[in-house]
Structure 1
Amino acid sequence: MTAGTSGSTTVANFALICDCDGVLIDSEAVAARMLVRELETRWPGTDVEPVVLPLLGLRIEKVLQGTAAQLGKSLTPDDIDAIRRAVEAAAMQAPMVEGIEAALAQVPLTKGCASNSFRPYVESVLARTGLVRFFGDRLFCADAVPNPKPAPDVYLAAARGLGLAPSRCLVVEDSVTGVTAASAAGMTVLGFIGGGHASDAQIDKLHAAGARHVFDDMQQLPELVAQWTLSATAATAAAP
């Protein structure tokens, strides 16, 4: 059974939720380069990349605070705001993840986006790339919940907004932070490592964080969704 053969009743009972950066938009590598450049400009002679890269997936503010703390440096609130704006401006120009548009077009489930970024940024990049047509206003962002990822808040908000139990939501995430959040919300998670920032070492990390399956090509997504929909439907039917 493929994604296109699911019955309409079954399809309506489940949803696909995608992270934005690194899943829809290939922006994580762009963001990382800008973060490193901005910090090394402020802290000449400091090698920040080994500290920044493991923190990707957290809110930009958390990445900056964590990097400063680990290196014994400081950033003013104005620094943090300026760096966040620079990173978002750079990421705004990043391309779609290769194959994502065709993959989403083949998935018949309702689709939502759950991001650790602020809503204005998510709206802008989805509008610029045209991916907004798959999501409409089903955008759930960190600035609308008490706690960002890795807390489950944004995914629980997504489930409420979609009117579905978390167990009926399948998530695609590219970071340990995001996989942790979706798993904590009680959702099944697919880990994606095909973005420009991904590495083979990420596979084990995503599995350890709770990803059921890790894949590297968006052409695989429709079939992975179809397989999950079948198993989730069977599990629902078997429940007392």
Structure 2
Amino acid sequence: MTNAAIQALICDCDGVLIDSEAVAAAVLVRELEARWPGATVAPVLMPLLGQRIERVLGGTSEALGRSLAAADVDAIRAVAEREAAEAPLFPGVVEALDAIALPKACASNSYTAVVRRVLERTGLARFFGERIYCADIVAKPKPAPDVYLAAAHGIGVVPQACIVVEDSVTGVSAARAAGMTVLGFIGGAHVGGEAHALELREVGAQAIFDDMRMLPALVADWMRKTEARAL
């Protein structure tokens, strides 16, 4: 049963809670260039970040006219996930989550086991509990809305009562497809400044910010506006 009176915060993990996307991207580029001598991988790969690693690898392979064996895909993904999972928290994220008195969930395109390890290692598990919704438990990964709809259902709220923090075009597209308000975070080492901010706005991010210490005020403003419209 959903409760239209309750509001909720849903966060992506990589690139939102931990500064991991640049780490993962560096691994993917390194591993692909080792397998494809002479290939210039980064300009093709970087715009694909936010999708499942398998899709990033597949899209890069297709664009460059190269191929990867299934064993290579598995090996590269394992290395990227292992190194990215050790990335640091964004400054201010703990304080921001502490300051926002809403039910919280984490919705990621990664695997549930990986996200659980990250949340436990960083101490963020206390904010999310069992409310972790990843691409391996739904029919379709982002940019499909499935993980976000699963998160809303798990919290017990309607999608329109959820505000999402995302860092990628893929993620913003997924949350908007679910009918949720989205804040675009551009504080990660992988983000390309104003061009990336424009891309997030174009796919539906309501506001853009680059410092997690700004998040409580942005959420509070959304709550006030949502409550005012309900009167």
* TM-score for the superposition, normalised by structure 2: 0.97
Q: Shift of residue 195 of structure 1?
A: 1.1
Aligned residue number for residue 163 of structure 1: 156
> What is the distance in 1 between the residues matched to 2:107 and 2:230?
24
Aligned residue number for residue 230 of structure 1: 224
Are 1:208 and 2:202 an aligned pair?
yes
Q: Which runs of 4+ in 1 moved over 3 A?
A: none
| Partner amino acid, structure 1, of 2:137 | A
| Partner amino acid, structure 1, of 2:131 | R
> What is the distance in 2 between the residues matched to 1:62 and 1:216?
27
Give SS of 1:160's match.
Answer: helix
> What is the distance in 2 between the residues matched to 1:232 and 1:83?
43
Aligned residue number for residue 211 of structure 2: 217
> What is the distance in 2 between the residues matched to 1:61 and 1:97?
26
1:98 corresponds, among 61, 82, 91, to 91
Aligned residue number for residue 134 of structure 1: 127
Aligned residue number for residue 37 of structure 2: 44
Backbone CA RMSD of aligned residues: 1.3
Q: Shift of residue 99 of structure 1?
A: 1.1
| Partner amino acid, structure 1, of 2:135 | A
Gaps in structure 1 of 5+ consecutive residues:
1-9
| Partner amino acid, structure 1, of 2:103 | T
Aligned residue number for residue 83 of structure 1: 76
Instruction: Note the 1:13-52 alignment, pairs <5 A.
Output: 13-52=6-45
Gaps in structure 2 of 5+ consecutive residues:
none
| Partner amino acid, structure 2, of 1:236 | A
| Partner amino acid, structure 1, of 2:220 | A
Are 1:54 and 2:47 an aligned pair?
yes
Q: Shift of residue 236 of structure 1?
A: 2.5
Aligned residue number for residue 100 of structure 2: 107
2:66 corresponds, among 58, 61, 73, to 73
> What is the distance in 1 between the residues matched to 2:55 and 2:13?
18
> What is the distance in 1 between the residues matched to 2:218 and 2:41?
37
Aligned residue number for residue 4 of structure 1: none
Aligned residue number for residue 3 of structure 1: none
Give SS of 2:107's match.
Answer: strand
> What is the distance in 2 between the residues matched to 1:21 and 1:232?
27
> What is the distance in 1 between the residues matched to 2:153 and 2:184?
23
> What is the distance in 2 between the residues matched to 1:193 and 1:161?
27
Are 1:174 and 2:172 an aligned pair?
no
* TM-score for the superposition, normalised by structure 1: 0.93
Instruction: Note the 1:1-20 alignment, pairs <5 A.
Output: 13-20=6-13
The number of residue pairs the alignment matches comes to 228
> Which shows bigger deviation, 95-104 or 173-182?
95-104
Give SS of 1:46's match.
Answer: coil
**What are the superposed Cα offsets for residues 133-172 of structure 1, whole Å, 9 maximum, x if unpaired?**
1101100000000100001111011111111000000000
> What is the distance in 2 between the residues matched to 1:165 and 1:40?
45
Aligned-residue sequence identity (percent) comes to 60
**What are the superposed Cα offsets for residues 156-215 of structure 1, whole Å, 9 maximum, x if unpaired?**
111111110000000000000000000000000000001111122111000001000001
